[in-house]
Amino acid sequence: MQVTVSTASRLDQPISDAPAAVVVLTAKDIRDFGWRTLADALASLPGLYVSYDRDYAYLGARGFQRPGDYNSRFLLLVDGVRINDAVYDQAPIGTDFPVDMDMVERIEYVPGPGSAVYGSNALFGIVNVITKTGKTLQGPQVAVAAGSFGEKRARASYGWHGSNDADVVLSASSYVRSGQDLYYPEFDTADQNHGVAQGLDYDRAQDFLAKFAYGDFGLSMAYGNRTKGVPNAPYGAIFDTPYSTTDTHSFINGSFHHAVNDGLQVAAEVYWGRYDYRSPSLYAPGPVENVDGDHAIWYGGDVHATLTSIPK
């Protein structure tokens, strides 16, 4: 009950004092249960469930998951920075999430509407992913892993903590998975390889995270690039032909926090985010190549003061 959370009210406070129900998943939970994506972790929470169409992972809550909704009813934050893009309002929770799960200190989930504090995306809930600090890492780390269907992972990280709250985190990771050859009975004809999609379920991702802090100032940035092969020929594409989606998420956030006294804190931040999407595919007759895509950039800033005590 003394775990400190910040998502419910945008103010660090014990979970017992938070004005809303907050569920916390820790780095120990991630390690013990072997969750490899944010979707795996969120699927363990009460009231949430995840579906997957071999391209994206979709998050539902309390029986609501509208087809074609790109998780836009959930607000996804990384260290309090909005990750939902400015085109689809999409919250990436699969391998397109731009932070390696090994770099997550805890996940805070606040169920229910949070629009009064965070805006319209926070209709079904708020997910805030808190990343590790240099004090947590304490030096260099290297990790490698291998799994079924040609899965390989590698990560190199470094953390340092000094005086005056000086803190540095650097992390880079890479992931590749060959995937499976999948059978789709609706395409079981001789001219469609008897319904078998070969070599089209692959997944590749690269992530980078950097955080710097000194005194009252902080700077964080992240970059994630994911390319996923799509084997099920969606939207009428020609079956068993190359079809993939590439998602690139990046953000930079600068912050300033200063305690004027025990009851008053002032804070300011400026942020910049970018999302790029590209999806080439082939359609009959021809075949004709179609390239779907978009580019989005958003930026802003805010200044606020937090008063936690009023003189009597």
User: Closest by alpha carbon to 133, among 75, 215, 217, 220?
Assistant: 220
pLDDT tens track, the chain, 312 positions: 567 666 656 666 666 666 567 889 999 999 999 999 999 999 999 889 999 999 999 999 988 887 778 899 999 999 988 999 999 999 999 999 999 999 999 999 988 876 666 767 888 889 999 999 999 998 999 999 999 999 999 999 999 999 888 999 999 999 999 999 999 999 999 999 999 999 999 999 999 999 999 999 999 999 999 999 999 999 999 999 999 999 999 999 999 998 888 888 899 999 999 999 999 999 998 899 999 999 999 999 989 888 877 765
- For residue 164, the SS3 value is helix
Sort strands 217-229 and 203-214 into parallel, antiparallel or unpaired: antiparallel
Q: What is the pLDDT of residue 311?
A: 65
Q: What is the pLDDT of residue 80?
A: 87
For 4-307, give the CATH class.
mainly beta
Asked if 98 and 175 touch (Cβ cutoff 8 Å), the reply is no
Domain boundaries, the chain: 4-307
CA distance 271 to 301: 6
CA distance 290 to 226: 20
For the record, the structure tokens of 185 come out as 């009975």
**Which residues face 128 on adjacent strands?**
77, 108
Q: What is the pLDDT of residue 310?
A: 72
Q: What is the pLDDT of residue 115?
A: 63
CA distance 260 to 76: 30
Greatest CA separation for the chain: 83
Q: What is the pLDDT of residue 13?
A: 64
